[in-house]
A = this chain, B = another copy of it.
Amino acid sequence: QSSVTLFGVVDVNARQVKNGDTKQTQLGTDGLSSSRLGFRGVEDLGGGLKAGFWLESQVQADGGTANATRFWHRRATVSLMGSFGEVRLGRQLDPSYNAWGAYDTFNTNGLADLGSLVSVLGSGADTKSRIDNGVNYILPSNLGGFYGEVAAAPGEGTAGKKYIGTRLGYAAGPVDVSLGYGQTDASLSTDDKLKVLSLAASYDLKVVKLFGAVVQSKYLSQKQRVSHVGVIVPVSTAGKFRVSFANSNLSGTSTTGASVDANDANQFALGYIHSLSKRTELYTTYAQIKNKGSSALSVATVNGYTIKAGDKSRGLEFGVKHSF
């Protein structure tokens, strides 16, 4: 009687991570795509109107855990859809994240996740990728290639939660480009905001697909610009290489007044995906981050070792991603 679609991903890999001089063998998850279990459905209400729901839980298959604080971490929404577009209420991805996340050559997952570089600059913002209590309006899909969304979330008395943001884009033929902006109130008592502006694009030449993104974040007197370029190269019907490079450029001063100009980092990644079917893929990824100044970013955590300023971080993973 109910029209529910049950879907999910289980993506597990074996990997070795080395931060500084400390190496660790691990089983990791989500090298290619985020492991999840979800339930969704759409009801046709007639007259072009539809209602839908979407519940999506994060799965950490290596250790059998779910998200400890938000079981429906990935998405919990109800929607009304029609010729006007979609109004979507609940926890969900936010537009200013989608605006650059969709152009990460490594799909914001695994050792080469572009999100490893993008910082909230000490603002405490809890909106880097998703918002709680979100109201999102999404444009309809028939606007001649133009698309967009605008979302807001009330703070509900918690710092780092109040958000407003938008994404506007254009996709036609090989081109897909989008512009995003989002701002999050860092404090209940001041007007201090984390502001994230991004421009990103992909261009699909079939023999290669190119990716590029610039994400600029500002908080108080600190600024970060993350630049990303990458390419996916299909080499057979089943196989494709991925290569990406990204740079994090900090400038200004931190909340303690110290200059952050020297604290930059470079990320380089190389990967290969072999499809066994549409639903099942094998993959390998090598990624490294070179930290400068007091930057201490990593491709993944080495348990028991806190990465130090200037440490190099490297990792290599081999995995299986199965979706259902």
Q: What is A's interface to B at a CB cutoff of 8 Å?
A: 1-8, 10-14, 24-27, 37, 39, 41, 43, 45-46, 49, 51-53, 55, 59-66, 68-78, 80, 89-91, 130, 132-135, 153-154, 156-158, 188, 276-277, 279-280, 302-305, 320-322, 324
Contact = CB atoms under 8 A, between A and B. Distances in A.
Contacts of A63: 70, 76, 91, 132-133
B302 A135 contact: no
Q: Copy number of this protein in the oligomer?
A: 3
Nearest to A319: B89
SS class of chain A's interface: helix, strand, loop or mixed?
strand
B45 A276 contact: yes
Given A66-B72, A75-B64, A51 B322 contact: yes
Nearest to A17: B156
A303 B135 CA distance: 19
Given A62-B90, A70-B63, A135-B27, A3 B324 contact: yes
Contacts of A46: 277
Contact of A303 (B52, B55, B60, B158): B158
A142 to B, nearest CB: 22
A17 to B, nearest CB: 10
Contacts of A60: 76
A17 B124 CA distance: 26
Given A43-B322, A64-B132, 18 more contacts: A4-B6, A8-B39, A10-B53, A10-B76, A13-B89, A24-B154, A41-B324, A46-B277, A51-B277, A51-B279, A52-B322, A60-B76, A61-B89, A64-B71, A65-B70, A78-B320, A80-B320, A157-B302
